[in-house]
Amino acid sequence: MNAIAETPAVKRSDAVGLWIFMIAGIGIALWTVWSAVARIIEVLPNRDVQVPAEFADTTADAPIGVDGSLVAVELDRAVISAPSLPVASLWALVIQQLVFAAAVVAVVVCLVWLARNVSRNQVFSLTNTVLVTTAGFAGLIASFAVPFFGNMAANGAFAVLSDRTFDNVIISVEPFPLILLAFVAALLSTVFAVGERLQRDTEGLV
């Protein structure tokens, strides 16, 4: 006679932790959407638009010397204010916020759904594998796209302020975090896929 395998139930403390995680994730998603909408409303009038910008080989004077005297420092990041932005740069700023919000919501939905399944003793399954993979790719795409569109907006602000005489075109996307995120996403997807296959094979033996 074949034995019937029973899946261990999730402990109450673990279930509470998962539900707290899900509530926190929903809060993060709502806050992100609200922030993105507020930023879009702020920039759409296209007047005195403040844009974070990165600099390369640029010096500026800072009052950090004796009695507040100016000392030359190398400028790395700053927030610049442009009277208006070119249409392409303005829409790049809007798209940046939409991509960021969409990516955060996608990741949160996938992880909350995953936590819900785990709380119901469904750990390794095709659905969970898809959820982990989707969350990983959403985060990876956003890690590239968000700074890309932000740089487009900043370069438009530079062009307006300098009448296109200041060349500061920087496409700043750090490769190492992208590689690390891609590795983690691939690893988690593989772990869940292998776990699902092992569980299916084990269930077939009992």
Contact criterion met (CB below 8 Å) for 53 and 169: no
Whether 7 has a pLDDT exceeding 90, the answer reads no
| pLDDT at residue 177, as a whole number | 63
Residue at 10: amino acid letter: V
- pTM of structure: 0.77
Adjacent-strand bridge partners of 71? 62
Q: What angle do CA 152, 91, 36 make, to 5 degrees?
A: 95
Task: Please state the rounded mean pLDDT for residues 169-188.
Answer: 61
Query: Measured between alpha carbons, how far is 196 from 20 in angstroms, rounded to an integer?
Result: 26
**pLDDT tens-digit readout, 17-59:** 778 888 888 999 999 999 999 999 999 999 989 988 887 777 8
| pLDDT at residue 95, as a whole number | 95
DSSP-derived 3-state class of residue 86: coil
**pLDDT tens-digit readout, 144-155:** 899 889 988 988
Whether 1 has a pLDDT exceeding 70, the answer reads no
Whether 196 has a pLDDT exceeding 70, the answer reads no
Question: Between 28 and 67, where is the model more confident?
Answer: 28
**pLDDT tens-digit readout, 82-133:** 898 999 999 999 999 999 999 999 999 988 888 888 777 777 777 888 888 8
Adjacent-strand bridge partners of 52? 79
| pLDDT at residue 5, as a whole number | 46
What is the average pLDDT score of the chain? Answer: 79
Q: What angle do CA 116, 28, 54 make, to 5 degrees?
A: 135
Angle between helices 87-119 and 12-43 (to 10 degrees): 170
Query: Measured between alpha carbons, how far is 75 from 35 in angstroms, rounded to an integer?
Result: 27
Contact criterion met (CB below 8 Å) for 90 and 14: no
Q: Which residue has the tokens 């998962």?
A: 18
